[in-house]
Structure 1
Amino acid sequence: MVLREVPIEQVGRSLGRSEVIGLLFRLTVFGAVTYFTMKWMVDALDPTRKQKLNAQKQAEKLMKQIGVKNVKLSEYEMSIAAHLVDPLTMQITWRDIAGQDEVITELKETVILPVQKRHLFHGSRLLQPPKGVLLYGPPGCGKTLIAKATAKEAGFRFINLQPSTLTDKWYGESQKLTAAVFSLAVKLQPCLIFIDEIDSFLRNRSSSDHEATAMMKAQFMSLWDGLDTDHDCQVIVMGATNRPQDLDSAIMRRMPTRFHINQPCQVQREQILRLILDNERVDSDVDLGEVSRETEGFSGSDLREACRDAALFCVRDYAHSQDSDRESIRAITQSDLQRAISKMKKSKLAGAHVLLHAALG
């Protein structure tokens, strides 16, 4: 059998109009079936499809909670929106932070005031809120708590951005997700983009960086700089780290407002202890001034853990007590706190020895 080419004009003459329409219809149906079949196969082979659907549902739920309506989001913006935090659901306020009065005052004046009192700063480019804020200092001293309280008190939409959110196995997807972070923040402004342990994400660039990682960092900084072109844009990037020396110099330039959250001094430790034990049953003989003197070098989280251990001693005594007349757990005493402090010091000393051995090889 010999096949030969037939000009399209001859085909048109040999077929009737109804036959041509029928042929076009069949070709259209075939193309549509092929397209949806291929799309179904690609979706079925995508291991992140279920995760993306869950992220979309979570994003839609959060958008309703924070009162955002009539805002269309792209697929990538939906993935980022799944990490939104509703300020109204945050339980952290300034009252929950002790020993950081100077930092809180500075944050109120430099970050929150220009947002809440915009009419006072309108028309001035110098008095706009900073585009980047860095909280740095030893771990466990309240950097994350301060970031949450800032978003709560200012009424910012809060995006808790994690590096894993921006990583994708497909080439080019990370750049699209990075762009979605800032486009979403602009749509939700005033918005606070918080990056905990920012040094793990935006550390010093080097020639050994993977191409995709280097492109993602470059685009993040480029889009971040783009916020400066819109002086009315109320998007702030806030980072927290205990290793500021590992941050890229270009990132440090974009975070001109920096707060050092240091280890609490004795007066601050006493304030933190009073806050932690405020709603607990504490014996009247407990001297928190003495406890604060014995906890030199303790961070806020160390003090909380020591108080938790002291409260557990009371629970253990009640659980193991043979006295049936006791109806409630006894109050925390000075000896309970001293036992907990001793335990914490041993734990910190053991951890220091482990780090020393690791450093010496």
Structure 2
Amino acid sequence: MSNTAFTKNEIFGLVVRLTLVSAVTFFSIKWIMNQVDPTNKSKKKAKQTAKEQLKRLTSTGNAPLKIDKLNDYEMMIAAHLVHPQDITVTWESIAGLEDLIQELRETVILPIQKKELFAYSQLTSAPKGVLLHGPPGCGKTLIAKATAREAGTRFINLDLSILTDKWYGESQKLASAVFTLAVKLQPCIIFIDEIDSFLRARNSSDHEATAMMKAQFMSLWDGLITDSNCTVIIMGATNRPQDLDRAILRRMPATFHVPMPNLGQRREIIRLILENEPIAEDVNYDELATITNGFSGSDLRELCRNASVYRVRDYVRDHFEHAYPNTSQNESEEKFYDTLRPITMADLKYSYNKMRDSKVQCNTLSLQTRIDLD
């Protein structure tokens, strides 16, 4: 009997030792993997950023949010939260799109701000999906940010790269966290820039993990659509709406086209850009709007920026190197700023000519590339 008892003790001790060795080995490998993982530091930084943003939202939001109730995946998504007060873009920052802005106010913002007025009708509730499409540089991203600020909603500027992970199944958990976090934060807008790069038309060549993530994303999106009390809006922007999956287009019933600015819109955009800049009396907004046909809003801003730089360049060339040889850099920068001349029409035309020539060369190269491919 004693030999039998001793054998049992040996077996028990062996099992305990094996368990301890296995546990130590597991946690050692896990620690090594965390140290080797290049994204480990960024994940920790993201969680810290998320905690700070969530605390601000909890202190100023309509509904309290328990930060400790969020899982690690939701914290990763929360790092991309933007507080409405941190959004500097307003409707006044957008020129020439008054009709579109008014339609957004009536279709998207009003049902969020006056939810009680639309509680008894499913037809007048805020859409669960909004698509902004049009040529590049026409203000789609600005419109999305201004909408979130005007509505006073929480804003998730979703970076699609965060949804991809090297471990199998992690991408699906992150995609799920986007929606569970948005529901806890509602009213909330999830903004996906260049949405066609993520939710493009599915085909047989898609990777299995990517196909699964798309399917789960759309399935969770359907859950928002069927819940009339949920105030979560997914807003996407793209310049290639034809590449989007048809199932995605069905989930984004509110579609707004942001076109290239026309003559009157270009005049208003230039006026807004130069509103707080020193300009000469010879600046003619009508002439600038006429010659910049085919320019987007971002092109017009770049035109004005280059024109403003030219006056700095002229001053540096004529005065800066000789006027203050014994002054420090900060002192000279201050005097340099005070003596800048205003932006002239010649500056703006010179900037336009350079941009026009650059556009012509780019279009020529693009056309030649297409011909070579054909």
* Fold equivalence (TM over 0.5): yes
**Counterpart-to-counterpart distance in 2, 1:215 and 1:24:** 41
Query: 2:79 maps to which residue?
Result: 82
SS in 2 for 1:192: strand
Moved more, 142-151 or 119-128: 119-128
Shift in Å, 1:359: 1.1
1:11 equivalent to 2:5? Answer yes
Deviations 1:55-109 (A, max 9, x none): 2112112212222642321111111111111111111000000011011001111
Check 1:21–1:219 CA distance in 2 against 1; reply closer, same or farther (3 A cut). closer
Query: 2:210 maps to which residue?
Result: 213
Shift in Å, 1:273: 0.5
Check 1:40–1:320 CA distance in 2 against 1; reply closer, same or farther (3 A cut). closer
**Counterpart-to-counterpart distance in 2, 1:55 and 1:28:** 35
The number of residue pairs the alignment matches comes to 352
Moved more, 326-335 or 117-126: 326-335
Deviations 1:180-228 (A, max 9, x none): 1101111111111111011111111100111111111111111001102
**Counterpart-to-counterpart distance in 1, 2:284 and 2:165:** 54
Shift in Å, 1:157: 1.0
Deviations 1:303-346 (A, max 9, x none): 11111111111111222224969961111111111111111111
Shift in Å, 1:38: 4.7
1:336 equivalent to 2:332? Answer no
Check 1:352–1:23 CA distance in 2 against 1; reply closer, same or farther (3 A cut). closer
Which residue identity does 1:66 align to in structure 2?
A: L
Shift in Å, 1:44: 3.7
Which residue identity does 1:11 align to in structure 2?
A: A
SS in 2 for 1:321: helix
Moved more, 22-31 or 277-286: 22-31
Q: What's the RMSD between the two structures over aligned residues? A: 2.7
**Counterpart-to-counterpart distance in 1, 2:113 and 2:21:** 58
Check 1:12–1:182 CA distance in 2 against 1; reply closer, same or farther (3 A cut). farther
Unpaired segments of 5 or more residues in structure 1? 1-5
Query: 1:253 maps to which residue?
Result: 250
**Counterpart-to-counterpart distance in 1, 2:203 and 2:262:** 38
SS in 2 for 1:91: coil
Moved more, 65-74 or 157-166: 65-74
Shift in Å, 1:229: 2.3
Which residue identity does 1:348 align to in structure 2?
A: K
* Higher share of residues assigned helix: 2
Alignment of structure 1 residues 85-124 onto 2, 5 Å: 85-124=82-121
Moved more, 168-177 or 266-275: 168-177
SS in 2 for 1:66: helix
Alignment of structure 1 residues 172-191 onto 2, 5 Å: 172-191=169-188
Deviations 1:12-49 (A, max 9, x none): 9997xxx9999999888667645544543443454432
**Counterpart-to-counterpart distance in 1, 2:351 and 2:2:** 93
**Counterpart-to-counterpart distance in 1, 2:133 and 2:293:** 20
1:54 equivalent to 2:65? Answer no
**Counterpart-to-counterpart distance in 2, 1:250 and 1:138:** 22
**Counterpart-to-counterpart distance in 2, 1:79 and 1:310:** 42
Which residue identity does 2:176 align to in structure 1?
A: A
**Counterpart-to-counterpart distance in 1, 2:82 and 2:2:** 64
SS in 1 for 2:229: coil
Query: 1:275 maps to which residue?
Result: 272
SS in 1 for 2:109: helix
Check 1:159–1:318 CA distance in 2 against 1; reply closer, same or farther (3 A cut). same
* Residue from 227, 241, 248 that aligns with 2:224: 227
Shift in Å, 1:51: 2.4
SS in 1 for 2:191: strand
> Which entry has the higher C-alpha Rg, 1 or 2?
1
**Counterpart-to-counterpart distance in 1, 2:2 and 2:12:** 18
Which residue identity does 2:357 align to in structure 1?
A: K
**Counterpart-to-counterpart distance in 2, 1:80 and 1:63:** 11
Unpaired segments of 5 or more residues in structure 2? 59-63, 324-334
Query: 1:349 maps to which residue?
Result: 360
